Amino acid sequence: MRRRVEPFTVVSVVGVTLFAVACLIPFWMILAGSLTSESKLSISGYSFFPKPFSLDAYETIFTGPAVLSAYRTSAFITIVGTAISLAATSGIAWVIARRLPYISKPLAIFTYIPMLFTGGLVPLYLLVTQYLKLQNNLFAVILPLLVAPFLVFIQVSFFRQLPEEILESARVDGASELRIFFQIGLPLSKPILAVIGLFYAVTYWNEWFHALLFISEPDKYPLQLLLQNLISSVTNAATLPQSTAQAAPVYQIRLALTAVTIGPILLAYPFAQRYFVKGLTLGATKG
């Protein structure tokens, strides 16, 4: 029996389509704008079609040293940060998940408290600048974000779903607890490692707040901070009278740099998206 198409269904399809289009338009405007000649952008500020077409901005970006070095910095923060985060998160999650008497429960509470209460900005700032002396060190960006309690608990709930029989049989065969973790626990947890790694990677890639606080040398700027500086400088340029003759295509560069910043996420997205959905639903239903 074929179902009659009801008005509500039609409204729904139109509704979600409109929302999806609203989600896409800004990205299209950035891409189109980054390929539009500055002569048009400096009049309207935006463009829907790359006409007149121009690659000036990308040329400027990729021939100058600043963007490439920022790309390297961001890549370093993302890769090193994600690797350390994954290791630290899996480690503590495994110990909590094993339900060791006198250890797992206190450790879980120890991990949970920072979700409820934080020292806030000032003590962190003093800690990093006065005591650890990490100014202009990329680890000042990585370390404050190293372990997210929320992701620890997602991982704990995954570890607890692993079939106890497999671990037990390894134990009977005389494998040490560490060996069980590395040779059985981790290999069985690849899906959740992917989810958690992706969450960390996106966080590190998008990170700019700690960079803003702790990195002041321009040659150590990550991509996001470089972009943020461009926001303020173009804003400043925009509020000034037009006497500041613009040699470089500033509007176009700004959009091109934005496109370049989103690029890696966009490329990884089709692959990553199903994992994100999986991780979210796991977190939402299992807690």
Contacts of other proteins in 59-88 (CB under 8 A): 84, 87-88
**Identity of the residue numbered 21:** V
| Max Cα–Cα distance, the chain, nearest Å | 80
**Segment interacting with other proteins, rule: CB under 8 A, options 40-48, 50-58, 61-69, 75-83:** 40-48
Q: Angle of helix 104-116 relative to helix 149-159, nearest 10 degrees? A: 150
Instruction: Identify residues 144-183 at the interface with other proteins (CB under 8 A).
Output: 144, 146-147, 150, 152-154, 157, 160-161, 163-165, 168, 171, 176-178, 181
One residue of 183, 216, 233, 273 binding other proteins per CB under 8 A: 273
Cα gap 117→91, rounded to integer Å: 23
100 counts as binding other proteins under rule CB under 8 A: yes
Closest distance to other proteins from the beta carbon of 24 (Å) = 6
Element (H, E) at 40: helix 38-44
Cα gap 114→135, rounded to integer Å: 24
Residue tagged 């959009």 (tokens):
255
One residue of 45, 52, 218, 263 binding other proteins per CB under 8 A: 45
Closest distance to other proteins from the beta carbon of 7 (Å) = 7
20 counts as binding other proteins under rule CB under 8 A: yes
Instruction: Give bridge partners of residue 36 from the DSSP assignment.
Output: 53
Instruction: Identify residues 211-230 at the interface with other proteins (CB under 8 A).
Output: 224, 227-228
Report DSSP state, residue 162. S
